[in-house]
Structure 1
């Protein structure tokens, strides 16, 4: 794994030194760099795989700027297995779901006259009484991972603060709904391997596997974000899925792709990929997680990008033809003027 990719901050709740207001990132909480940094998270990619009551979430965050260290936090419905994932995964998903390019010919000088319509994209087909219970600690590549449960948001944030995190004021309240529902918290730290190195770019993908009765993508911690956030969620399941709950009811996710695909990470039967993206310009309005359920059918969808090309030979013919038309129209006009004048003289 290349250093520039490993040194990317981690996904969601690293806590910076006091006095620095962090920018939180979608889905997992927020990327919070060290006090001297200006790094901020502006987007996140997630692959959600679901079959037979088991869910896998693979995450990577896009980071602007650099920092010396970072961390994140991720709530999940049950005990999670945490692993490193394929470094090229999201590049391949982007390639699989990008728009289909359709080339169309045009013949100058008729191009741009509004004779063609619809030139834009179009649709294609803790144990009770225990404050904090640390279940597991491990090191995975550049990540130091802790799995824990807690009796309250305050208990968990106190633990995080004691263990080197600087906790935003809103975190305890935002964690409370998950802890009330007995969710597990995965806290992760990332730092460069050598002194003087910085974190930047895109975070190494990390995969969490856990039992779940539904397809869910946690979003409620993003309520603490202070800047606009964009999240793209790829859902790999047996069938096409619809979003049944939205983080912000006023923000409708855009469908990017739906269809069966071939990729080493998406083995049958979970080879039907549905991709959505959404931008939250007011993260404070987020009140829920994303949940997904099978759609009514498996109809495919792919965006279409139209590219208009000029046909050189026919354009030349069109120019000549247009010229002849103009010459003919001019000659006819002159003839009418001459006839009109000659009639006037004769009278």
Structure 2
């Protein structure tokens, strides 16, 4: 299950070249590969599943190029269970929430004149111990990743811990992560741990799944404030009912509804099988001030985008339609005439 965009700030491991600044490129954080590859993250999908008391977040990023050293951090509201997610879940989600294609016919010479209808429209129908002020709660290896669960009360010891463990820390991280630490959120730090020397990562990263207690459906976005590039966020929310985006990262950016409806998929069992999908692009990440907060919508009204495809039925169909009127009129007139003649013959003495 590729859940969330809780990626808070992907930082390069061992990337300490002076004068190099992070190229933030992910929706909920930033991605910075090793200096040699200069690979970039160009996409990210997130699935959030909530049953009323427990939230699951699955996340995967798409990498353009390859990277031998990469890392990121993720803030979550409470202690998290971290494991590999299900491969292929986002492909299924994209298929389930795809546009419905409807065909409209037009007839020459009316094509593309707007008389018969044309073009494209859209309509509805997330080693144990203490180290210098940082509580290292758990360390593990999951597939190609080294994962560490951390807790701290202030940013300074956390930043020191990240630096001493090979993370490049962007200058904005301390300020942007402080609100999460004040609210006692847990920090999950992840970095690439290739099984073979020289092994690199490219394409989509293996999905990671985080499970934690939460009475709210929240999707962390505040660390994206440090991004310097446009951020596109697509979040799939699986819950008992349809949800609205009650709070958004940037109040000037309204997320677009992609889909709402009941689905059948093993990754989304009943009752959390109502899927609501949103997407948004943040051209100015510095304006991000909040996380996503989703709440139950007023109704479970379903929605699916519709793409209309106009098909020209051809010249001869047009001629037939244009000629059909006079022909039918003539036939009708002949029938009426015959009836009148019969009646006239019958009425003779």
TM-score of the superposition, structure 2-length normalised? Answer: 0.84
Q: Verify: 1:97 aligned to 2:94, yes or no.
A: no
Q: 3, 7, 10: which is aligned to 1:13?
A: 10
| Contact 1:42/1:228 (<8 A) preserved | no
Cα 1:285–1:104 change in 2 (3 A) is same
Number of the residue aligned with 1:6 = none
Cα 1:217–1:71 change in 2 (3 A) is same
Number of the residue aligned with 2:141 = 139
Q: Verify: 1:66 aligned to 2:40, yes or no.
A: no
Cα 1:123–1:261 change in 2 (3 A) is same
C-alpha distance in 1 between matches for 2:131 and 2:73: 23
Number of the residue aligned with 2:261 = 259
Q: 197, 200, 203: which is aligned to 2:202?
A: 200
Q: Which runs of 5+ in 1 are unaligned?
A: 1-9, 324-347
Higher mean C-alpha displacement, 35-44 vs 236-245: 35-44
State the Cα distance separating 1:131 from its structure 2 match. Answer: 1.4
| Contact 1:238/1:270 (<8 A) preserved | yes
C-alpha distance in 1 between matches for 2:242 and 2:320: 52
| Contact 1:82/1:208 (<8 A) preserved | yes
Number of the residue aligned with 1:158 = 160
C-alpha distance in 2 between matches for 1:26 and 1:248: 16
Higher mean C-alpha displacement, 60-69 vs 224-233: 60-69
C-alpha distance in 1 between matches for 2:118 and 2:179: 46
State the Cα distance separating 1:198 from its structure 2 match. Answer: 2.7
State the Cα distance separating 1:321 from its structure 2 match. Answer: 7.5
Number of the residue aligned with 2:281 = 279
State the Cα distance separating 1:152 from its structure 2 match. Answer: 1.1
| Contact 1:247/1:286 (<8 A) preserved | yes
Number of the residue aligned with 2:46 = 46
CA RMSD of aligned residues (A): 2.4
Aligned residue for 2:92, secondary structure, equals helix
TM-score of the superposition, structure 1-length normalised? Answer: 0.85
C-alpha distance in 1 between matches for 2:157 and 2:244: 36
State the Cα distance separating 1:109 from its structure 2 match. Answer: 2.3
Q: Which runs of 5+ in 2 are unaligned?
A: 1-6, 324-349
